[in-house]
Amino acid sequence: MIQDIEPVRLDNQYRNVAPDDGDMVFFFEGSSLLGRLDEDIINVPSYREFLDGYNGSDADNHGDRDFDFIYLFALVMPDRTENRFFLAKPVISESNIAKGSFQGEMADSAVHIEYESCWEGYEFTGVNLFRKARPKEIAYASITAFHLYGWYRDNTFCGRCGHTLLHGKKERMMFCPVCKNSIYPKICPAVIVAVTCGDKILLTKYVGRTYKDYALVAGFTEIGETVEETVHREVFEETGLKVKNLRYYKSQPWGLSGSLLYGYFCEVDGDTGITLQEDELAIGKWVSASDIDMIDDGISLTKEMIVKFAREHSE
């Protein structure tokens, strides 16, 4: 899966440091990333490239903005050298607030067309590029950075009293100097569910998503609900099916939706007739293991689970 980047390691502990010229910068506009793809190799600008490109461009082309550069994480190489990454965050005020719907991979794949780059050699592209981008550790870093970008973007002001938040110096948190409110990064638990019936598995396709491949039933855990209860509820809501014999498989951080995914296999309980929740799913059908030609791309928990089922039931 995308987080499997060994022998490289993602060190996600916050550091109160300023960027050096060679450190790398993630800059997002809406659901788009400033970067460059060279034959599927993803590149993002260095801190020096970012400053030189912005300061050397026409201010009328991009608006006159100041930036905060926030330390995100480091990729630690096998020889223990580090590549450090920072977030370029436009300074926001009460009169300059980011507006719009920022939906990650759920946004249209052409959403980046509206943004014009002033950095020579770099363009804005939809964050869903990570599915094809290499090296894998940079793809993983990209969606993890998008997760943190969304949190920083949406926590400029205190939700309790409305004052401007400050960043903690010792850990990754925002705090209010007035009412003492503390805000930590939000992680939403969600489930990915492989519903099976003998040698068949339930495959679905989403409504209105950029992602067009077959998927599994999925959904977020609600307040006051266990993850297992989420499995039962989501399957029934989306397909009208009841399930039994839940078996936990694996988890996966999924930065595009700010979630931690819990993968489960389970069996249909009783009637196998499917009643789709049509505002969520365009397709839901039983597929025999022998008819599955999907390849595990090493990215998503969804594909790994589908391919695992196909291999185990086609032998």
97: left (phi over 0), alpha (psi -120 to 50) or beta: beta
Hey, what's the torsion of the CAs at 37, 38, 41, 46, to 10 degrees?
A: -70
Q: For residue 84, give the nearest of 96, 93, 75 by alpha carbon.
A: 75
Write out pLDDT tens, residues 105-145: 555 555 556 677 888 889 888 877 777 778 999 999 999 99
Please report the domains of the chain, with CATH numbers, ordered by start residue.
Answer: 9-154 (3.90.79), 156-185 (no CATH), 188-314 (3.90.79.10)
Q: Please state the rounded mean pLDDT for residues 49-64.
A: 68
CA distances from 112 to 62, 117, 123, 276 (A): 14, 10, 9, 32
pLDDT at 252: 96
Residue 307 clears pLDDT 50, i.e. is over it: yes
Average pLDDT over residues 56-64: 53
Q: Is the pLDDT of residue 205 over 50?
A: yes
Contacts of 166 (CB under 8 A, 6+ apart): 174, 175, 176, 177
Q: What is the pLDDT of residue 113?
A: 63
Write out pLDDT tens, residues 166-203: 999 999 999 999 999 999 999 999 999 999 999 999 99
- For position 61, what pLDDT does the model report? 47
Q: What is the pLDDT of residue 92?
A: 72
Question: Which tens digits make up the pLDDT trace of 67-86?
Answer: 999 999 999 999 999 999 99
Query: Is the pLDDT reported for residue 290 higher than 60?
Result: yes
Residue whose tokens read 């939403």? 188
Residue 32 or 221, more confident: 221
- 1: which 2 tokens? 């899966």
Q: CA–CA separation, 128 vs 235, rounded Å? A: 26
| pLDDT at 59 exceeding the cut of 50 | no
Question: Quick one: what percent of the chain has pLDDT higher than 70?
Answer: 88
* 247-279 tens-digit pLDDT: 999 999 999 888 999 999 999 999 999 999 888
Work out the mean pLDDT of the chain and round it to a whole number: 88
Tell me the two tokens of residue 66.
């100041």
CB atoms within 10 A of CB 135: 14
3-class DSSP string for 217-275? EEEECCCCCCHHHHHHHHHHHHHCCCEEEEEEEEEEEEHHHCEEEEEEEEEECCCCCCC
pTM over the 0.75 mark = yes
- What pLDDT does residue 5 have? 94
User: Quick one: pLDDT at residue 193?
Assistant: 98
Cβ partners under 8 Å of residue 56, min gap 6: none
Helix (H, G, I), strand (E, B) or coil at 96: strand
